[in-house]
Structure 1
Amino acid sequence: MVSVVRVSKFRHVFGEELQEKFEDLRPSTLSSESTLIKSNGTNIVFPWESGGAGVLAVFAMSEIGRIAPSHPFIKGHAGNILDYEFNPFNDFQLLSCGDDSTLKLWDIPEGGLTSDLTIPRVTLHGHGKKVTLLNFHPSAAFLCASASFDKSIKVWNIENGSPALEISNINDVILSLQWSPIGRSIGYTTRDKYVRVSDPRTGRNVFETLAHDGSKPSKMGWIAEDTIVTCGFSKMNDRQVSVWDLRNHSAPIKLVNVDQGSGVLYPFYDPDTKILFVAGKGDGNIRYYEVVGDNQYMYYIEAFRSNVPCRGVSFIPKRKVNTDSCEIMKAVKLTNNTIDLVSFKVPRRSETFQDDIYPDCVCGEPSMSTTEWLGGADREPKRAPIKQIENSSAHAELHIQATPQMHAQQGHKSVNEYEKELNEARALIKRQQQRIAELEAQLESKTKLE
């Protein structure tokens, strides 16, 4: 019998850890439903151990190497920071959220922080409890979804600082949150083990099913506008990956039992290569599968393996990969004291540009405004040839529109709002006083040595 080898240009993709890394880091030990580390290829962000209110470390990718303990940070939230997202249309804007029930938009200087950043560009109020997850719309400028412990998802128009829409018929804590590929729907998993997809413009659930039987958290992502992927646990605590067709609620179109590991798995899908990457907190491995859509639906390719477990992992945008080395994806992996970079490459002998593995990719420009999306428009993310936009930076401008709600927040606050701002200011002063004491001690020590 003659065996048939499956033909695929991605069958031999391999992952390798790059030598350069960020070192001497102190990541926070705070647990979070997010991936903990995010990068847009220009900057990288993760929570820093501070012993007090939330602190974010934001480094330019050019700062790779040993990080000095005196490096400046973002210190603007009154409580722990639980999630953060770079604006996909501006590499120098970061949105954060946390225990203080607010969302804050930060302007990051080009080249990285030179002093502590304490005053945000915009502060968004609206959730009644801590905000745990964020996700920017893939096509519309300055539109973002947030999930909160108040069991609601809000869709924010950042330009006027107010929630434009809300999904409130949610009966449990939200564990993951992601817009669909063109931003028509929002998918999310909850603690009741279900995965749901909702149309935020109508508030209607368009898909709902029990994702995984196990009690540990499940996460979700998108493969296509009508196809989602979930990662979770079976009743026997097997880690699983399931793929669902939104037109069929009864059973997944693909179910993979991965192993009996304990770390929560996160899915990352690359539509350009049709490769699904699966990484887990506490794991050293990143598995990847090719999605082909035949009767097997997807095939296991390989796994990047490491003995160093990760605290969190995510991937940079495609326009930031190195096409000269046939790199198709790059992951950033947070460990106990480093950030490692993992490069996934297609082995090729030729040194010329391999256009067959690089279709047009998302270019970092919005394809419509928030107003257009709210009016019912749906558009694919803008794409361009990767060689035209390779290593380019996104620079969409935010134009703040004053609204009655914003004026009310600024000039007619409630007693609770004044008390909250006062506590935030006190916490900020306390952190600055601690920092002054640290610097004075360092200066005194250095003076004695000299």
Structure 2
Amino acid sequence: MRVLVTLCYLLCLLYYSTCYPLIKGRHNDTGSNLFSPADPAYNVTGVPDRCSDQGFGAMALDDKGVMHYFRGDHVWMGFQGSTQLIKETWEGLTGPIDAAFRIHNQNHPLEHQRIYLFKGSRVWSYYEGKLVAGFPRLISEEFPGIPDDLDAAVECHKGECRRDSIVFFKDDLVYIYTPEEEPAVKQRTWSALGRCTAAVRWMERYYCFNGIKFTRFNPVTGEVQSPRPLDTRDYFVRCPGRGHGHAARQNTTHMSIMNRCSNRSFEAFTSDDNSRIYAFRGGYYFRLDSNKDGWHPWPLSHTWRTLEGVVDAAFSFRNHIYFIQGSQVIIYSAYRIYIPIAGYPKPIQEEWKIPGMTSVDAAFTCPHSSDLYLITGNRLVLVDLNSRQRSGADRTIIHTEVDSAMCNPHGLYIFQGPSYYHYKNVEELLAAQEAPEPGNIASYFLDC
């Protein structure tokens, strides 16, 4: 398992948490370089400036989760990488690049996580930085029905689109390529979106770029999901004096919270029914299951509208995610998006009929079970979520200072400070006379 973390981002503009990424990092950044007191030099005489108002001709993540920005003969890798020539980075290819995307197709491992670069009538495919055998090929051979000289392209994952698809843009037309359907290509006109000179999928969201400006859109309908176009330099690349995280980089508290390798403790961990795994720290959350989309912390309201402050505990049950903050319980449904359930927050005592319980240290459920376990001190309280009442007598565990707990198909994890303790199941935890060998959260979960 892996996790996300790099930098601060503080904007939620639309009703259903329509937020935007802020300066992604390389997949192996420790985070320390993201909070330096002074920004590095961004432009060298005679070298194109990534922060100019020209925008980019193509953007895509590679198989390691590193964002690539293409313009003319040059490419920038990562949010603050140096300027490089495309011909020196990508074997057999020179700029400019018309379009790019990273394919997602787990049913076809020879294609999965490949990055595709388009120029004129041909397409190049790379994996781990190497040109795939048989490429370049004609676009008409690799993607029948898709025109040459594209403007942009972006992959669309199953669940976000009906099937794994690729959305191609040229002039005012959109071509949705779904090889598993007949016909494989469907032509659309998304007039509200306008022309896309580049497009990218990032953290389950889709962005259309036109020059230096971008908007978020629905990859199925083309519906615009941004209140207005925004500047790429404030969200996707790091530029001097720009970006909503600029001031936060000077704040040592933010540095510790958002540096995934700081060994600072987490207040909560949980996994939901869609196999998303989250870690919560200081009003932000980190996605553990999406390392291929980079390392990035988000404010809670980015995904859970109206949720703010520190989360004391979190757990999932039947496509709902529960948050405990102090003495209150808040519930969100967890289908395509998270929607707050009316009537909440409610007191813990009212929700589960537990007199005297005004706070918990940790909470967890295990897959395919209605048993909720609440940890307070070294006491384990069992609640039946079907009846919403305490079930059986309280038990004691050997851990006395638990920060969080999580149960998933890999077992039960107890988190204390920078360490975690792994058990096969609840029964093994209850039977334990001494704690197992601790593991380091930062190295095991955060890839530090």
TM-score bucket (shorter structure) = 0.3 to 0.5
Bigger radius of gyration: 2
